[in-house]
Structure 1
Amino acid sequence: MNIEELREYCISKPAVTEELPFGPDTLVFKVAAKVFLLVGLGQSDSLSFNVKCDPEYAITLRQEYVHTVFPGYHMNKKHWNTLHANRELTDQKLIELIDHSYNLVIASLPKKIRENLF
């Protein structure tokens, strides 16, 4: 997976916006104004990005993929993971983890907002 494929996948999801709220170097994907993925734009050799994750699942992933999944860089380590693409995780697994993050954000929204998104 490269950054263009990551971006295309994220913006293809319903109700997603992309922003640069932290400056020109960090692209942020949101659903209903809530962040579900952050990626640095200055990456050339490898791709890494942050996604939300269920705390127990985050621990499991970090133990299973010790060279690929880390506590979220500059994020709440309990709820965020940093994933390194093109290591131990297949592109399909990366997509599943992006979906997991997106779905966690959707689930945390009030019912009325969720119903108006789709």
Structure 2
Amino acid sequence: MTRDPAPKKSESLEIRLPFSTKGRFMARCRDDGRSASEAVRGFIENEIEGPARSRSRVWQVLVAAMAGLALGAVAAPSLAKASAQTAFEQLDGNGDGVLTRVEYGRR
């Protein structure tokens, strides 16, 4: 079975921005090891995907925050344990020890 080739990138988009902004953007792209075109295409794809992707990002941040709280609880139990537990209990509306999307969204 052969794969369909990726669509040809034949369209262009012209934008106007200050020279200093362009310079900073190009430097950032260079530091990230990608072209300006790749960065702009990635931005456009993220915009097209819309709110569903944003919700996914919220969950990623939430998981990272919970992990940070857990690590803080291990590093400084006297400082973090009570506040992390209290924060989780406030989010866990039904007290089952599992945080659902509904419970988080109710916040």
TM-score grouping bracket, smaller chain normalisation: under 0.3
TM-score by length of 2: 0.25
Which structure has greater helix proportion?
2
TM-score by length of 1: 0.24
* Structure with the larger RCO, 1 or 2 (CA within 8 Å, 6+ apart): 1
Which structure has greater strand proportion?
1
Larger radius of gyration: 2
